[in-house]
Chains A and B, each alone.
Chain A
């Protein structure tokens, strides 16, 4: 056992020495250090007054609301290109604690900044290769996030899943770990990440690590297919969580992007307690596992390049595979308008929520999002 451990330590030490010798071999060309800020906030207006979340009847909703200004996000990013192959990023994120209908319930709901990214990005080990060490973006979110590109309007399907459905998926937009990406050829790229699994909000809470990886195939220019899988052991009991995701991006018509994202999440800790006949006439309570899943289709058309885009998105949510009444869909449509410069945008958008459960009436929310980046 000790010999095995020593071998493991020796292998890690070899890797560290190899990596550091490569890093030291880089001469350091001082390059621009950049500071940037991105902020977005919006004005939301409830276009319905009897929906599941927009109900303004005080008997149903103790704190009915019809419109609000919400300051949703502020990022402050410092980047330092230490050499041609070595970069450093530090990003603070100030998040909004209130959701569409509720606040945190504490006395104070002001925006609180926290560390979102802090990593070294080294591209010097192999050609077409990048290694990130630290708190980095996770691949589960980044693939779709980069493509959707309208984070100010809405999070992508998996990222915003909990906000929309309340179902918790144990995954995060950033995590502490090691992240590798590279390309074997222009038709085939890959990525792999080992991380704590706790995201950016907690330190490591167990001895297990989460593993994620993807393969990206680009058979013809403009057609991208990504397959992503994630695995994490959750406890000493044989419990684990897995996520599988497929993303397809189509970029073959001038000024038009169409994309699709499909995922399923399975955790041994996700189950309903149900009563059933054990076969001998006795009613017993058993745990019935369920999956969480959904898909998202979205497209953007550039009406005037760099000035005006129109976008539409359709999300389907299936937060409990054993209870289809929880299914719901969301349509988001709007404009992405930069009247003067791309650093300042106005993004009017409409959200239309539709629920499978006949008791839940549809909601329509109109937002005017203001985006600033400098």
Chain B
């Protein structure tokens, strides 16, 4: 008797819920949500706009917040694709495993992380060790690294930024940044800070330093050549051959990740990014196209 009543109540509840939620669910268009790296946001926004122009029935929303924010969103199921300008950390893979998320990674572009100073700074090159020592706060005056007698002012990103973490892992030897570093919200703010401050140093993705009109670094900035060590030759992040060959020591892939095998809509967008049109946009935005190593891994992960 009770069971029959219970079944009836459940059936009524199901009908009521269906009436309430059906219009909401029908109104929801499946929009691909892309979230994460601020270094990648301009690039991915342009890629998405071009893709949507050709595929108007496939809406894509792109937002930033930093690589860490993007990874958290993918793990919590609040985005479909996350953008990261750094590798995933072990603890992020571990959390994804715990939550049943199986990240699949796709390199969509390569960035030569650029070390910039004010154009009035006469210095032209630094070694990796020198950049590390400057950002750790061990070196506080340009004179120590062959520059003018002038205090160094540090510009960097906040800790949820993939660029912050990438530099910390690859250049600062996993040590902490100097407490004197000014933590800026994005690449554009770092550039503005460096332009206005003669003693400044900053780091940004190569896509942010080029003036598209002149194909040269923006006015007010100087891009330093970086050498692996004191004995090595220094290279510019704007030298594509040096970035491709790994001679430029602070190059990095820019990643996207999906939860497991990408859906048909996600795969179509990723294929567009990796294809000739997408890679042309990558170059147009000042980043570099992906090499054979990544092409093979991407193809495997799309299957």
- A29 CA / B180 CA spacing, docked (Å): 8
Interfacial chain B residues near A279, Cβ < 8 Å: none
User: Is B158 in contact with A183, judged by CB distance below 8 angstroms?
Assistant: no
Q: Cα distance A29–B136 when bound, in Å?
A: 10
Question: Which of A27, A183, A222 contacts B175 (CB under 8 A)?
Answer: A27
Question: Can you report 27 residue pairs joining A to B where beta carbons are below 8 Å apart?
Answer: A27-B175, A27-B179, A28-B176, A28-B179, A29-B176, A29-B177, A29-B178, A29-B181, A31-B158, A84-B176, A187-B97, A218-B98, A221-B96, A221-B97, A221-B99, A223-B100, A251-B98, A251-B100, A252-B100, A254-B77, A255-B77, A303-B21, A303-B24, A304-B25, A304-B28, A308-B21, A310-B17
Scan residues 221-277 of chain A and give those whose CB is less than 8 A from a CB of chain B.
221-224, 251-252, 254-255
Cβ of B93 and Cβ of A186 under 8 Å apart? yes
Given A183-B94, A186-B93, is A27 in contact with B100 using a C-beta cutoff of 8 Å? no
The answer to the question of B186 belonging to the interface, with a C-beta cut-off of 8 Å to chain A, is no
Q: Determine whether B91 belongs to the interface, using a CB cutoff of 8 Å to chain A.
A: yes
Residues of chain A with a CB closer than 8 A to B78's CB:
305-306
Q: For the complex, is A30 an interface residue (Cβ under 8 Å from B)?
A: yes
- Residue A128 at the B interface, CB < 8 A? yes
Is B101 interfacial (CB-CB < 8 Å)? yes
Interface residues in B23-51 (C-beta closer than 8 Å to A): 24-25, 28
Q: Could you mark each residue 87-111 of chain B with 1 if its beta carbon is under 8 Å from any beta carbon of chain A, else 0?
A: 0001101101111111000000000
Assess whether A37 is interfacial by the CB under 8 Å rule. Answer: no
Q: A31-B159, A81-B159 are in contact. Are A183 and B176 (CB under 8 A)?
A: no
Question: Residue A170 at the B interface, CB < 8 A?
Answer: no
CB distance from B267 to the nearest CB of A (A): 17
Report how far A189 CA is from B94 CA in the complex, Å: 10
Contact call B102/A27, Cβ cutoff below 8 A: no
| Closest 8 pairs between A and B when the two form their complex, measured CB to CB | A222-B100, A251-B100, A27-B176, A186-B94, A186-B97, A29-B177, A221-B100, A28-B179
Interface set, chain B 103-135, CB cutoff 8 A to A: none
Contact assessment for A183 and B100 in the assembled complex, using a CB-CB cutoff below 8 Å: no
Closest Cβ neighbor of B79 among chain A residues = A305
Check: B183 CB closer than 8 A to any chain A CB: yes
- Residue of A at shortest CB range from B165? A84
Q: Report yes or no: A27 in contact with B25, Cβ–Cβ below 8 A.
A: no
**Interface of chain A: mostly helix, strand, loop or mixed:** loop
Using a CB–CB distance below 8 Å, which chain A residues touch chain B? Answer: 26-32, 81, 83-85, 127-128, 183, 186-187, 189, 218, 221-224, 251-252, 254-255, 302-306, 308, 310
Partner of B94, one of A26, A27, A128, A303: A128
A32 touches B100 (CB 8 A): no
Least CB distance, B65 to chain A, in whole angstroms: 14
Decide if B137 is an interface residue (CB 8 Å cutoff).
yes
CB distance from A254 to the nearest CB of B (A): 8
Beta-carbon contacts under 8 Å, B139-159 to A: 158-159
Q: Inside 8 A of B91's CB, which chain A residues have their CB?
A: 128, 183
Q: CA–CA, A254 to B94, complex, Å? A: 18
Cα–Cα distance between A340 and B168 once the two chains are bound (Å): 38
In the assembled complex, which residues on chain A have CB atoms less than 8 Å from the CB atom of B100?
221-223, 251-252
What's the minimum C-beta distance from B6 to chain A, rounded to whole angstroms? 11
Q: Smallest CB–CB gap between A342 and chain B, Å?
A: 9
In the bound complex, what is the Cα–Cα distance between A221 and B102 (angstroms)?
7
- Within the complex, the shortest CB–CB distance from B33 to chain A, in Å, comes to 9
In this complex, what residue of B is CB-closest to A222?
B100
Q: Contact between B181 and A304 (Cβ–Cβ < 8 Å)?
A: no
Report the minimum CB–CB distance from B16 to chain A (whole Å).
Answer: 12
Given contacts A222-B100, A224-B98, contact A27 B21 (CB under 8 A): no
A310–B28 alpha-carbon span in the complex (Å): 17
Residues of A within 8 A of B177 (CB): 27, 29
Query: B152 → chain A, closest Cβ, in Å?
Result: 16
Q: Determine the distance from Cα of A187 to Cα of B97 in the docked complex, in whole angstroms.
A: 8
Interface contact B98-A31, CB-CB below 8 Å: no
Which of these, B77, B101, B137, B183, contacts A221 with CB under 8 Å?
A: B101
- In the bound complex, residues from chain A placing their C-beta under 8 Å from that of B183 are 30-31
Q: For the complex, what is the distance from the CA of A302 to the CA of B76, rounded to whole Å?
A: 11
CA distance in complex: A26, B177 (Å): 10
Q: Which residues of A contact B17 (CB under 8 A)?
A: 310
B102: nearest chain-A partner, CB-CB:
A221
B-side contacts of A255, CB under 8 Å? 77
Complex interface: chain B residues within 8 A of A30 (CB): 179, 183
- Chain B residues whose CB sits within 8 angstroms of the CB of A308 once the complex forms: 21, 24
Contacts of A254 in B (CB 8 A): 77
- A187→B17 CA distance, assembly (Å): 39
Contact across chains for B158 and A128 when beta carbons are under 8 A apart: no
With a cutoff of 8 Å between Cβ atoms, the chain A residues found around residue B102 in the complex are 221
CB distance from B10 to the nearest CB of A (A): 11
What sequence of 0s and 1s flags, for each residue 205-239 of chain B, a beta carbon within 8 Å of any chain A beta carbon? 00000000000000000000000000000000000
Interchain CA distance A31-B179 in the complex, whole Å: 9
A252 contact set on B, CB distance < 8 A:
100
- Docked-complex contact B77 and A83, CB < 8 angstroms: no
Which chain B positions have C-beta within 8 A of A29? 159, 176-179, 181
Contacts of A85 in B (CB 8 A): 176
